[in-house]
Structure 1
C-alpha cells in the first residue's frame, strides 16, 4: 500500500496509468464499432496500425470483411472460391399475377326488411299465436286483442243508428206530406181568387144599384129608410170584398210568380214546372228537418262502420314473410293503441341480408352498383359469402369521411344473422397484372418504401421497392421489381450488397 501511494504520488506514473486506461478504452470501443462487415476501410486500417499492440494482447475483432476487400488483400479464397462456397438462400422467382383491384373492409350483417307490429286498437292482449325465432308467412295471425268491450259498443251504436233512421223516415214522410199539401194550397188559392172576383163583381153591381137609388132618393122617390138600407148593403159588399182580398193574399203567400223570382228561380213556362217550384219553396222547413236527420243517420252509420273496421283489427296478421325476432309484450298486458305504444312483435326477413360497410370517400368514387363483394364472417371463417352492391350512399359521414355501402346477400341456410361482424373484399374492377411478394421478403423502411435483396450474377443486391396493398401474407409491389427478377427470402439480416449467394427455389 505504501508502495502504491508512493507511485501515485509521482506525476509521471499517474500520466502513464491514465494514458494506458484511455488507450484500452479506445481499443474496446474501436473493436466493437468495427465488428460489422460494413465498417469504413480507412478507419479499420488506421485502427489496426494504432491498436497493433492491443491486438497482440487481446486479438483482432471478429469482422466479416466484404468479399471485394478480401480479394484485394489476397484472402484465403479468390472470386471463384467465394462463389463456390456461397451460402444457400431461399429465393423466389418474381411473376406477375392477374389480380382484381379491391379493397378490404370490415362491416356488419343487417336484415333486408323489418316490421314492428303494433295494435291499432286499445285493449287487453288476449292471445299471441307465435314465439320468438318462429317462422311466419305473409298474412299469418300473430296476436289478438280482446274485443268484448268493442262489441258491446257496436251494439249500442247500431241501436242508435236504427233510431235515427226511424226519425229520418218520419221527417221524410212529413216532407212528402208537405209537398202534397202544396197542391191543396194552390186549390185554396184558386178558390179564394174566384171568391174575390165574385165578391168584386157583386160589389160593382151593388154600387150601380146604389147610385141609381141615390138619384131616386134625391128626387124624393125613395124614403130615407130605404136609402139607408141600400147604403148599408153597399157597405157590406165593400167589407166582403176587403175580406176576400185579404184571404186571397194570405192564401197566395209562397204561391205567386214573385215568390219564385225572389227565391232565385227562373220563372218557368209550364204549369207543372211551376208546381214543382212551389213545392220546393213551401217545404223548405220540412226538407231541412229531413236533411238534418239524414246527417245524424250518416254520423251514426259512420260510427258503426268505424267500430266494425276496428273490430277487424282485433286479430293482427303478419305483413311479411320472415322470422319473429323479438316479442315485447305478454298475454294479458294492456295495449294503448298504435299511438305512442310499444310494438308487440318485431318480424325480420333474413332470407336475404345486407352486408353493410363504410369505405373512404376516394374508394366510393370507384365503387359502383352491381360490383361483387366477397366476405367472411368471424363465426364462419371457412365459409366464403358473396353479394352484389345495391347501394352506395349519396351521403358522406362528416366526422369519419366515410360512405355507407350495402350489398345484398342470399342467406343460404340462414347462417348470417343481423349484427354479425364480417370482413369483406370488394372487387373494384377487372383483373390486372400485379406483382406480389411474401411479407418476409421485405425490409421495412419508411412510409410505402421498403427494400428487398435480389439475386444477380451470383451475388445479392439491395433494391428499394414501393409497396401497395396487403393480400393475406403477400404484399403488392408497385415499383422496383420486374418479371423474372429473383428475390431472396431468408437470412436477410445477414446479407450484404455484393455478397455471393446461391438461390434455393423451394417455393
Structure 2
C-alpha cells in the first residue's frame, strides 16, 4: 500500500515536469517567431548611391548674414513729450507716414511772437526807407533795421522747422523693425526713435580674404544656401566689393538677393562663388545624401546589410554636388533616400528604385 502511494506521487511529479517542459518549449518557439517577425519588420528600404570622382569648378564658400538692403534709424529732431503714437513695431509704413506726435505748444507760442516781430520789423524797414530818402535817418540806421528784419525772418523760419519736426515721420517705405518710445516718453534731439527696414530688398554681407577677392568681380553670380531651407538654393549677384581690407586682411562684400525667395533679414547663410577654375578630380556626393545640413554633415554608409551613421567633412558645394574632404572613400555605398527612418547600425534593404 505504501509502495503504491509512492508510485502515485512520482507519477504526479513526472506529469507536472512534462507539462512545464512543454510550456517552456512553446514559449521559446513563440519568442523566436516574434523575434524573427520583428527583425523582418525592422528592415528599412533605402535607395543608395556611391561617391564619384569628378572635376568641378573651384568655388569660394563663405558664411554671412542676410540683412535688409535699405534700413534707416530715425532720430528725434525735437525735444518734448510724445503726445500720440501712430504706429507699432511690425507695421508697414510709407515714406512720409506720421509715426508719432511730440508736444508743440511752446514752439507755437514762440512762432506767434516771432511772426509778430517779423511783421513789425518789416513795417519799420519800410518806414526807415522813407525817412532815409528824406534825410531823417542815416544809412547806418536803415541797415540796422534791415538786419533786425533779417533776424526776425530767420527766427520764423527756424521755428516753423522746429514745429514740423514735432511730427516724426518715416523717411523711407518699409516695416517698423523697432520702436524705442511710448506715449509719454520724453524725447530729446539726437535720440533714436525707430528703425525702419525694407524687407523687399535684401542683401547678404560676407567677409572674404585677400586671396579670394582677386578671383571675384562685381556682377558675378552667387549661389546661396541656408539650413532654414535645407536642400534649397537661391541666386544672388555680387554688388559691392570692399576696396580696403582690415587689419586681418579681410574685405567686405555685399550680395544682392531677391526677397521673393522667402529669405528674411537676420538669417545666416552660405554663399558659394563659382570662379571657373578647376582643381582636378574631387570626391563628391549628392547633397541629398547629407543628414543634418552642411554645418554638421553626416551620412549613412551601408555595409553588410546595415546602415552606419558617419560624420564627414565637406568642402566646396556646386549645385547639388558636395565635395567630401574626409570621412568617405570611393566605392563605398551611401544612402540617398530613406534616411528619415534610419538609426545607427539598423538593417536596411537596398531597393534602388
- Seen in structure 2, the aligned counterparts of structure 1 residues 93 and 363 have a Cα distance that, compared at 3 Å, is closer
Return the TM-score normalized by structure 2: 0.63
Q: Report the counterpart of residue 182 of structure 2 in structure 1.
A: 330
Q: 1:395 aligns with which of 220, 223, 244?
A: 244
- Whichever of the two has the greater Rg, that structure is 1
More helix by percentage: 1
Cross-structure match for 2:191 = 342
Aligned equivalents of 1:396, 1:126: Cα separation in 2: 47
Structure 1 gaps, min length 5: 1-89, 179-282, 440-467, 478-486, 491-505
Determine if the alignment matches structure 1 residue 106 to structure 2 residue 63.
yes
Matched, 1:362 2:211: yes
- Look up the match of 1:115: 72
Alignment of 1:321 onto 2:173:
yes
Q: Is 1:147–2:100 an aligned residue pair?
A: no
CA displacement 1:319-339 (0-9 Å, x = unmatched) = 2111111001112222222xx
Report the aligned-residue RMSD: 3.4
Q: Give the aligned partner of residue 130 of structure 2.
A: 173
Q: Distance in 1 between matches of 2:51 and 2:84?
A: 72
Query: Any residues of structure 2 matched to 1:130-141 within 5 Å, and which?
Result: 130-141=87-98
Cα displacement (A) at 1:434: 4.6
Query: CA contact under 8 A between 1:91 and 1:488: conserved in structure 2?
Result: no
**SS of aligned partner of 1:288:** helix
In structure 2, relative to structure 1, the CA distance for the partners of 1:115 and 1:95 (3 Å cut) is: closer
SS of equivalent to 1:101: strand
Q: Where does residue 422 of structure 1 map in the other structure?
A: 269
Q: Partners of 2:153 and 2:79 in 1: how far apart?
A: 22
Distance (whole Å) between structure 2 residues aligned to residue 361 and residue 309 of structure 1: 48
Deviations 1:365-420 (A, max 9, x none): 10111122212222222432221011221222323x3322210101116x333322
How many Å apart are 1:117 and its aligned residue?
Answer: 1.0
Instruction: Look up the SS of the partner of 1:366 in the other structure.
Output: coil
SS class of match (1:174):
helix
CA distance in 2, matches of 1:93, 1:307: 74
Count of residues in Structure 1 that have an aligned counterpart in Structure 2: 257
Are residues 1:159 and 2:104 paired?
A: no
Q: How does 1:73-472 map to 2 (within 5 A)?
A: 96=54, 99-178=56-135, 285-337=137-189, 341-399=190-248, 401-412=249-260, 415-429=262-276, 434-437=281-284, 469-471=315-317
SS in 1 for 2:182: coil
**Whole-Å Cα distance in 2 between the matches of residues 288 and 331 of structure 1?**
52
Secondary structure at the aligned position of 2:217 is classed as coil
2:224 and 2:60 map into 1 onto residues whose CA distance is: 11
Q: Is the 8 A contact 1:371 1:428 kept in 2?
A: no
1:133 Cα deviation (Å)? 1.0
Aligned with 2:263: secondary structure? coil
Gaps of 5+ in 2: 1-47, 287-313, 334-351
Q: What secondary structure, in the 3-state scheme, does the structure 1 residue paired with 2:270 have? A: strand
Q: How much has 1:96 moved relative to structure 2?
A: 4.1
**2:39 aligns to what?**
none
TM-score by length of 1: 0.45
Q: Distance in 2 between matches of 1:421 and 1:119?
A: 32
3-state DSSP of counterpart to 1:100: strand
Q: Which has the higher strand share?
A: 2
